[in-house]
Structure 1
Amino acid sequence: MTTTQQLYQLFLQHPVISTDTRKIGAGSLFFALKGDKFDANTFAEKAIEAGAAYAVIDNPVYQLNEKYLLVDDVLTSLQDLARHHRRQLSIPVIGLTGTNGKTTTKELINSVLSQHFKTQATQGNLNNHIGVPLTILTIDASHQMAVIEMGANHQKEIELLCSIAQPSHGLITNVGKAHLEGFGGVEGVKKGKGELYDYFLKSESPKVRKSESPSSVFINSDDNTLLEMAGARKLSHVVYYGTNTIDDLVSGALVENSPLLGLEWTNNKTGEEYKVKTQLTGAYNLHNILAAIAIGTYFNIPAAEINAGIEGYQPKNNRSQIVQTATNTLICDYYNANPSSMFVAIENIGKLEAKRKVLILGDMFEMGPESAVEHASVIQKALDTEVDERIFIGKDFSAVAGIIDQGQKTKDKNHFYITAEDAIAGLKALPITGSTILIKGSRGMALERLVELF
């Protein structure tokens, strides 16, 4: 069997990892990972033919020659290789998780840090048990910082990802109602996300170079849940950010939301105040922005560079993304959805100054036994928000449509469609123009199909 140390020596010679035979890097190490419907051991020969230097496999049937490296389990070997590589690094590694805003916050932090350091960050949302080790293995001697996003839909997953990424600094964006089915309810979510704090409590993170700042956890001081979670663990190295606490390293407030955000922020160590405009929409992004500002300040990045990083970040992948069409302004936020993110997105459009406002909300997935209650609560939140039209799409929303009385259905123009196809037909019959439209739902609803209608 090939050991981790042996693999690492080959990795130093061939520092590119491939997992997809359609995208083989010349001279790379191909890891034959298994999926629900495939076994990449069967593709190992194809990977070698396509230019891979070696193929890591766990089925001896496919070991044709010395280029096929046999291990007990390919996924475990990939994770162990990443752990070993991480131990060789002496740079700050910021690990972050949370219910909402992980990817946006990661991108903001990376945008700020990269103004001053050479950084590496999780690409897209490759934040799971495969994506995290792959990201760690892209960090080389030229990098000065790394930002690793860690996602989870069940307990013990963040614990695993921390053991791989071994963050020297940490951040939980928030804890809310998401993946309730996998976590076993809200308390399960809190416990699962809290595994990041547990990691720092155990003092397992590697020491960074003496020239770098000591390990710290960054906490939103406006979030009572995070304060309670950190307090219960008696975390010692904590850096706060928020809106109105002098104990915060930085504090800030929105001064514009129309729909792009502008804010004022203060370095509470120096008392200096600054203003910055962003390409983000949604008041709920304030704390994501402040987190990036706080981390930049912590690592002594000049304020002008911090602001450049914030201003330069352009949201993408349908996360808090503004799309201006000939007849409407779209707030595209349909990469994912859960009750927590739904509530803040609905609140945000309610506060926006716009001539006409429309909500288009799609089903939330992975809600488990709480699905009916949570979908009903989102409907009620939408009803309590001053908008001109509300459109609900999906079988879960439709199943609880009865909470709206017939008078409200007519008066407030509330429409329910069981499928996106039904919604498309309805919107073609009753087109929307001259409106600011929030489109939000779980990724599986594929609400991007609606965009061309507006």
Structure 2
Amino acid sequence: MKKLSEIITKLLSLKNKKINISSVKMDSRKIEKDDVFFALNNGKNYIEDVLKKGASLVICDDKKWEGHERVKVVEDTLMTMQEIAYEYRKELSVKVIGIVGSNGKTTTKDIVYSILSTKYKCIKTEGNYNNHIGVPYTLLQLKEDDDYAVVEMGMSNKGEIKVLCDIALPDYGIITNIGDSHLEFLLNRENVFIEKSEIKNYVDSKNLILFGDDFYLKNLEGIKVGFGENNNYIIKDYIETEKGIEFQIDNEKYYFGMNGKHNCINASIGVTIGKKLNLSINEINEGLKNCVVTPMRFQKIEKNGIKYINDSYNASPVSMKYSLETFNNVYKNISKIAVLADMGELGNDELKYHIDTIEYALSLDIEKIIILGKIMKEASNSIENKEKLIIAETKEEIKNIIRESFSDRIILLKGSNFNHLWEIME
């Protein structure tokens, strides 16, 4: 990482002109010899340990380390990391693909990365490192010979996508959809659209890929993919199987091993950018076949003899409906239970969204709906026919309910991350 070493030496005015950099880390537990360590947040408590492990440089804003030969004290560690990432990104010939949207960003990121990796040298955002810390950190993982960086960009408030784009300088943009996420701060979907579509100011419209059936995106200039006839790439012959989905674009057949119409859209976005970057049908299908999706996205798991669909990483009104619809369609004529928990950041209308979600779940062929959380419980008061509803107070109670009454059913777990619904499987 010669270029990164040169940038760090120059920006930080280091006396030692030959810093060996193996990689960049934020987690002190993962430090190896010649790593650069950014001591963010409580990372500064582990600087001594990091130095013992052989880090070539520690960057921190703790004055007590002033003067140490392998520690550079700066005014603000995060701002320094962002500046270094920005300068490093500018020096590289890598093409950055920025992915924004209310739902499906992480799965789309995994799909795009897997497809492009069949032909090109790529990196992607790991896990949910998609914010003002995660995006620069991702860029600092780049090697000088990488072709593409697939960068997920998340937000919860105004101006955050612009900050991330200013650092990453995307060459290609993807907007998955505009939903009801972050309404606590953004108030309505129009504001969500304004913030998410900020990426259009950084990429040429011929390099902007959109879900064209979305109400807010259909009139935005770019390459559109979707089921409607107005799209540049039209999804046809969409079929659900227990093993995944099949669909066609331009009379070419594609297969993806996850269920749901929403995952068909995510996969189709991957197909579209694959075609744009000159991959063959076989290469694209190979990427779809070998895609390793970040856990807790409609993940099929069997624990203690009970079959779960773990879709509990996060939730919004749109993703709740997608998940329930997919669960209902894939497991037709099979006894099934849905565990639904609170959704976060929905603003003043949060109760309405929770009522709508429960009502939609009750309209499906699902035997029982087990609900958890303060808002879900309040929303249940508005439901007239509660015959299919079970209101639980704790995850431990849900475990017992499943073990005693529903151990032979398929169980869907869906709710925002803070509910930790996956603990029900433990």
**Structure 1 residue 51: Cα displacement:** 1.1
Distance 1:82 1:314, change over 3 A: closer
CA distance in 1 between partners of 2:176 and 2:152 (Å): 11
**Structure 1 residue 357: Cα displacement:** 2.9
Aligned amino acid, residue 397 of structure 2: D
Q: 5 Å matches for 1:138-177?
A: 138-177=141-180
* 1:93 equivalent among 93, 96, 102: 96
Q: 5 Å matches for 1:211-222?
A: 216-222=207-213
RMSD over aligned CA atoms reads 2.5
Aligned to 2:325: 347
Distance 1:50 1:436, change over 3 A: same
**Structure 1 residue 60: Cα displacement:** 2.4
2:350 paired with 1:395: no
1:350/1:387 contact within 8 Å kept: yes
SS of the equivalent of 1:224 reads coil
Q: 5 Å matches for 1:229-248?
A: 230=220, 235=221, 238-245=222-229, 248=232
Tell which deviates more after alignment, 70-79 or 309-318.
309-318
SS of the equivalent of 2:381 reads helix
Aligned amino acid, residue 48 of structure 1: L
Tell which deviates more after alignment, 87-96 or 252-261.
252-261
Q: What's the CA shift string for 1:114-143, capped at 9, x where partnerless?
A: 011111111121111111111101111221
SS of the equivalent of 1:400 reads helix
Aligned pair count reads 418
2:247 paired with 1:264: yes
Q: 5 Å matches for 1:51-450?
A: 51-200=54-203, 216-228=207-219, 230=220, 235=221, 238-245=222-229, 248=232, 250-267=233-250, 273-324=251-302, 329-352=307-330, 353-405=332-384, 408-410=385-387, 413-433=388-408, 435-450=409-424
CA distance in 2 between partners of 1:106 and 1:138 (Å): 16
CA distance in 2 between partners of 1:252 and 1:79 (Å): 39
CA distance in 2 between partners of 1:304 and 1:145 (Å): 20
5+ residue gaps, structure 1: 204-213, 268-272
Q: What's the CA shift string for 1:295-324, capped at 9, x where partnerless?
A: 000011011110111122243411021235
1:2/1:69 contact within 8 Å kept: no
Sequence identity, in percent?
Answer: 30
Aligned amino acid, residue 210 of structure 2: I
Distance 1:86 1:414, change over 3 A: same
Q: What's the CA shift string for 1:60-92, capped at 9, x where partnerless?
A: 222142322122211000000000001012232
Aligned to 1:211: none
Distance 1:63 1:5, change over 3 A: closer
CA distance in 1 between partners of 2:289 and 2:230 (Å): 25
Aligned to 1:23: 30
Q: What's the CA shift string for 1:279-298, capped at 9, x where partnerless?
A: 10122211101000000000
5+ residue gaps, structure 2: 1-7
1:252/1:263 contact within 8 Å kept: no
Aligned to 1:208: none
Aligned amino acid, residue 445 of structure 1: N
2:36/2:58 contact within 8 Å kept: yes
SS of the equivalent of 2:103 reads coil
TM-score (norm 2): 0.91
Q: What's the CA shift string for 1:157-199, capped at 9, x where partnerless?
A: 1111111111100011111111222333433322221222233
**Structure 1 residue 239: Cα displacement:** 1.9
TM-score (norm 1): 0.85
